[in-house]
Amino acid sequence: MIKSLFRAFETHQVRYLLISGQACVLYGASQFTEDIDFWIQSSNKNVRAFLRAMAQVKAKVYKLTPPMTQVYVLKGHGFHFKVGRDWYVDVMGKPPRVGKFQSARKRARRIVTEWGDLIVAAPEDLVLLKRTNRPADYETISNLVRQRLSEDGNASILRWALSNTFDISDLIEYAIQGAGMLTRWPSRPAVRCLLPLRSGQIRIGEKKVRLAADHLVSEMSELQERGRRYWKPILADLKSLQRGNQLIPEGTPVASLI
């Protein structure tokens, strides 16, 4: 069924990026999930193409889905669908914390899978998307960073890794590695409290480690709070639409929306 969905995307020329759980699975940074999340280009033309592709696979609307109009797409709402008996598809046209779709599309990777050749958001964009109010996402971020650094350990990627990991052991390892590579360090507090480092250093004092760990916890808490603040007006919108019976009824065939 999911293979048919991606074929339908090709047929209707849907401009999309695979994001979130399934994208992280493909990078080896997360476990299996039955949810499939997409970032689609937000133009009217592309939204219509997406709906036609979903209709082709007989998708139905799932819960708490507003009308898929430009108003709600550009406000950052999510749209929820069910494909077949077991797959849930979540879609956004304007996800938080990342820039323009076109720029992310240029950074994206084409990955060969059992479902076909998929266009998957780059690890750098997934890391930003995963900075949510869900604590478990920060382990996934660290996994993504670790995977990206294993591909290319140049100074630029190492600096990015130091700016984004939330694993204290990894942070220390990257910092010690950076002592022999970096002339410019991230301004991140968890990194700055580990400095100064010198080339060949193999350990960092326990006091600095505790301080860095505290900074990571504080940063995660702040990002989680930002995530909650981001969703607050969107949830208010949904409640208002629900009160006015303006949400698309659960189980509505997508074909009827076109």
Q: What is the CA radius of gyration of the chain?
A: 21
- For residues 248 and 252, what is the distance between their CA atoms, to the nearest angstrom? 7
- For residues 10 and 40, what is the distance between their CA atoms, to the nearest angstrom? 13
Question: Are the CB atoms for 80 and 28 separated by under 8 Å?
Answer: no
pLDDT mean over 242-250: 96
> In the chain, which segments carry CATH 3.30.460?
2-122+232-257
What would the pLDDT profile of 164-223 be if each residue is shown by its tens digit?
999 999 999 999 999 989 999 999 999 999 999 998 888 999 999 999 999 999 999 999
pLDDT mean over 232-253: 96
2-122+232-257 CATH: 3.30.460
Is the predicted pLDDT of residue 33 greater than 90, yes or no?
no
Of 50, 57, 56, 55, give the one whose Cα is nearest residue 73: 50
What would the pLDDT profile of 62-73 be if each residue is shown by its tens digit?
999 999 999 999
Question: Are the CB atoms for 87 and 101 separated by under 8 Å?
Answer: no
Is the predicted pLDDT of residue 30 greater than 80, yes or no?
no
What would the pLDDT profile of 127-144 be if each residue is shown by its tens digit?
999 999 999 999 999 999
* HSE, side-chain direction, 13 A CA sphere, residue 6: 18
